[in-house]
């Protein structure tokens, strides 16, 4: 029967219609909820983020070890200044070598504008070289250099030798007027290397620190003051790096480490790769091997006073391997490790992973073959030494090329690397 005029039939009066209406209403609500969730769901995070955390842990541990070694050096400097002797000088030199190795491994964290060599970073103050030694102290008559300030020998111009003075004077007259860092300390502990015997390093006597007069003007006293101030500044600079990579729980406090591990994964991985490529190709193969090889000048040797350069190079390669493999052995023997670039390269391209493994091993072998003293290796009349240094440079350039391929396997764009060895 049709509904009467002016009256609509209520369809929900029918129990079957009511059940259908409720079922449709529930289905609509369910669909709406699903669509809303689909629209608001956060995109999945990059699964490689743990690699950034491993890297940050390794960087922090390396800088903590570097700080520990620098403090041990500082204590040995106190002993040398307090009681100069052959033994206290030898101990200070040993502590410098240990401090140097710790820092060398950290150089794989450079070249991408991070805390070490970004704006305001301490790298130039920590690791500047080569030195014009006469900017710091008097040098021998055979030393061919422009007149320097001789800060130690000029108490009228520099009555108080402090960490701030050294910082202010670093590179003040040019990039070779180095006044601070590991190599300034090295020069003060070893003195110039005159190669008085072919295998000898600098032969500064401990008596150069024996005070004979007024400490404000006595050269030996001021040399000790400079050594102490330079070591104090070194510790301060390394401490700043430890602070930058320390875990900060207060979200209101700025933290480079937090920004790195929580930021864009692509950017973080690219920084890691840039650090390794920059160290292997530009710094080591170029500045530290090719330049002295071409010039034959020991002033172009990095650790030229102590003849420690070959050890520096080996530790640099160890640092590169630590970053790539996500594994660092600390001074106390403990190991910091975790998900690594090597893990993800192996997943992305097995052939590149094998190439990286082979070239890291070859680089360690070739660099390990370079002998101390390095200045004898680069002499024009040492063909075998030249061959060893050249083989090390070639291995580093090949490693840099493979690191570029590893980046490609991970979907990371790197600028073309000019190298050789393929």
| Tens digit of each residue's pLDDT (9 = 90 or more) over 378-409 | 999 999 999 999 999 999 999 999 999 999 99
Instruction: Output the CA torsion sign for 228, 234, 237, 238.
Output: negative
Q: Which residue has the tokens 């710091």?
A: 136
Query: Which letter does DSSP use for residue 22 in this model?
Result: H
Give 230-261 pLDDT, tens digit per residue: 999 999 999 999 999 999 999 999 999 999 99
Give 43-102 pLDDT, tens digit per residue: 689 999 999 999 999 999 999 999 999 999 999 999 999 999 999 999 999 999 999 999
pLDDT at 131: 86
From the list 255, 293, 316, the residue with the least C-alpha distance to 376 is 293
Contact 392, 366 (CB under 8 A): yes
Domain 49-409, CATH among 1.10.760.10, 1.10.10.350, 1.20.1420.20, 3.40.1160.10: 1.20.1420.20
Burial code (b: 16+ CB inside 10 Å, e: under 16) for 35-45 equals eeeeeeeeeee
Q: Which residue has the tokens 């490609």?
A: 408
pTM of the model: 0.88
pLDDT at 28: 46
Q: Which helix (H) or strand (E) holds 23?
A: helix 15-40
Going from N- to C-terminal start, the domains of the chain cover 49-409
pLDDT above 70 covers a percentage of the chain that reads: 86
Give 17-28 pLDDT, tens digit per residue: 444 444 444 444
Angle between helices 309-325 and 86-104 (to 10 degrees): 30
Task: Please provide residue 76's backbone torsions phi and psi, each rounded to the nearest 5 degrees.
Answer: -70, -30
pLDDT at 144: 55
Average pLDDT, the chain: 89
Q: Count H helices, E strands: the chain?
A: 15, 2
């Amino acid at each position: 029967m049709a509904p009467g005029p002016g009256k609509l039939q209520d369809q929900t009066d029918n129990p079957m219609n009511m059940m259908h209406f409720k079922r449709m209403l529930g289905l609509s609500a369910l669909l709406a909820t699903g669509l809303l969730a689909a629209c608001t769901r956060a995109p999945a995070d990059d699964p490689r983020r743990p690699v950034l955390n491993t890297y940050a842990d390794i960087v922090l541990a390396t800088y903590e070890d570097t700080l520990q070694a620098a403090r041990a050096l500082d204590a040995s400097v106190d002993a040398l200044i307090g009681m100069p002797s052959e033994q206290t000088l030898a101990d200070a030199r040993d502590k410098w070598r240990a401090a140097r190795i710790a820092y060398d491994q950290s150089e794989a964290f450079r070249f991408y504008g991070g805390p070490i060599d970004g704006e305001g970073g301490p790298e130039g103050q920590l690791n500047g070289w080569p030195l014009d030694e006469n900017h710091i102290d008097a040098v021998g008559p055979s030393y061919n250099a422009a007149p320097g300030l001789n800060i130690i020998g000029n108490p009228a111009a520099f009555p108080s030798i402090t960490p701030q003075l050294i910082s202010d004077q670093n590179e003040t007259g040019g990039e070779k007027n180095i006044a601070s860092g590991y190599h300034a300390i090295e020069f003060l502990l070893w003195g110039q290397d005159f190669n008085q015997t072919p295998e000898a390093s600098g032969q500064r006597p401990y008596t150069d620190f024996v005070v004979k007069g007024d400490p404000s003007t006595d050269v030996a006293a001021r040399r000790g003051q400079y050594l102490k101030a330079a070591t104090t500044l070194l510790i301060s600079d390394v401490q700043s790096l430890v602070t930058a990579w320390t875990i900060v729980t207060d979200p209101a406090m700025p933290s480079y480490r937090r920004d790195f591990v929580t930021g864009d994964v692509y950017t973080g991985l690219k920084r890691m790769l840039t650090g390794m490529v920059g160290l292997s190709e530009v710094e080591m193969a170029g500045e530290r091997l090719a330049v002295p090889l071409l010039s034959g000048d020991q002033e172009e040797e990095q650790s030229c006073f102590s003849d420690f350069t070959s050890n520096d190079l080996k530790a640099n390669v160890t640092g590169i391997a630590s970053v790539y493999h996500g594994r660092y052995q600390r001074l106390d023997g403990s190991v910091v490790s975790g998900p690594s670039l090597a893990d993800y390269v192996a997943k992305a391209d097995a052939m590149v992973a094998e190439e990286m493994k082979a070239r890291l091993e070859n680089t360690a072998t070739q660099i390990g073959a370079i002998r101390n003293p390095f200045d004898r290796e680069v002499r024009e009349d040492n063909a075998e030494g030249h061959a060893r240094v050249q083989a090390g440079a070639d291995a580093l350039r090949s490693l840099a090329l493979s690191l570029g391929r590893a980046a490609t396997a991970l979907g990371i764009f790197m600028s073309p690397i000019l190298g050789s060895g393929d």
